[in-house]
Amino acid sequence: MNTYAFSISISIFCILTHISSSLTSDGLSLLALKSAITTDPTNSLTTWSETNSTPCHWSGITCNSAHRVTVVFLPHRNLTGYLPSELGALLSLKHLSLSNNNFSKPIPDHLFNATNLLSIDLSHNSLTGPLPEKIKNLKMLTFLDLSSNRLNGSLPESLGNLTSLAGTVNLSWNEFSGEIPASYGLFPVMVSLDLRGRWNHRRRRRRHWLRRWLKDGGD
């Protein structure tokens, strides 16, 4: 084999080796989360490395048989940072639990591109800004806990259209303003809406009206 042909063979080998060892798109999305975290006192993300071919063995991560990420479970880790838009690229994600950390900044609209989400728990953080209207994309969402943050602005009317929700929809201890949308009367009977805390007297009257309206069947 001449030198030129040998060089070509080495180059092809290197390319194939790089492709076979490159991290999946889900792994890259999770590395965006790691990059957005400035403090990790429990070293929860030390196993998250770009040298892996898949994130399926990383701490707090569960995958399906196709090596797609289905669960991100990192509560109570004292993580400080923000939620990157890349989380919305986890298209097989079903459960997102980042409660009891110190995530700040707004919830990115693109998070709700992960339309297979069944449960979201972002409670007890420092998230700010409004709850994006794009939450309406999560047609299969059954559990939502955004309590004890600093979310503000109007409550999204489209939340009332998520008919798969069950149990308690917990939006308590935030800084929402304005009226409770009438569409929230569309919640199934088994859904309890928790809006306790940081809610002025006028809005509490509106909440009591909503409870009576639901009790009376919307008449």
- DSSP bridge partners of 168: 192
Look up residue 126 and give its DSSP letter.
E
Supply the CATH number for residue 122's domain: 3.80.10.10
Q: Cα 189 to the chain's mean position, in Å? A: 25
Of 209, 169, 215, nearest in space to 189 by CA = 215
Instruction: Give the integer Cα–Cα distance in Å for 166 and 209.
Output: 21
Residue ranges making up the domain that contains 204: 25-215
- In the prediction, which pLDDT does 9 show? 40
Q: Is residue 16 assigned to a domain?
A: no
Of 69, 61, 125, 58, nearest in space to 94 by CA = 69
Among residues of the chain, what percentage have pLDDT more than 70? 80
Q: Is residue 6 assigned to a domain?
A: no
| 143/208: higher pLDDT | 143
Residue ranges of the alpha helices (H) in 94-174? none
Q: Is 94 helix (H, G, I), strand (E, B) or coil?
A: coil
Q: Could you report the per-residue pLDDT of 3-44, keeping only the tens digit for each?
A: 444 344 444 334 433 443 599 999 999 999 999 999 999 999
- In the prediction, which pLDDT does 190 show? 85
Q: Is residue 62 assigned to a domain?
A: yes
Task: Please give the torsion angle defined by the CA atoms of residues 90, 96, 97 and 99, in that order, rounded to the nearest 10 degrees.
Answer: 90
Q: Is residue 10 assigned to a domain?
A: no
Label residue 180 exposed, middle or buried (CB < 10 Å: 0-12, 13-18, 19+): buried
Q: Is the pLDDT of residue 64 over 50?
A: yes
- In the prediction, which pLDDT does 188 show? 83
Instruction: Give the integer Cα–Cα distance in Å for 174 and 146.
Output: 8
Q: Is residue 2 assigned to a domain?
A: no
Q: Is the pLDDT of residue 2 over 70?
A: no
Q: Is residue 114 assigned to a domain?
A: yes
Q: Is 80 helix (H, G, I), strand (E, B) or coil?
A: strand
Amino acid at 144: L
Residue with tokens 């600093």: 150
Q: Is the pLDDT of residue 56 over 80?
A: yes
Residue with tokens 């999204």: 156
Q: Is residue 7 assigned to a domain?
A: no
Q: Could you report the per-residue pLDDT of 155-214, keeping only the tens digit for each?
A: 999 998 898 999 999 999 999 998 899 988 888 888 999 999 865 444 444 454 455 545
Q: Which of 14-18, 55-59, 143-147, 199-203 is predicted with the least confidence, judged by mean pLDDT?
A: 14-18
Q: Is residue 14 assigned to a domain?
A: no
Q: Based on the structure, what is the number of domains in the chain?
A: 1
Q: Is the pLDDT of residue 104 over 90?
A: yes
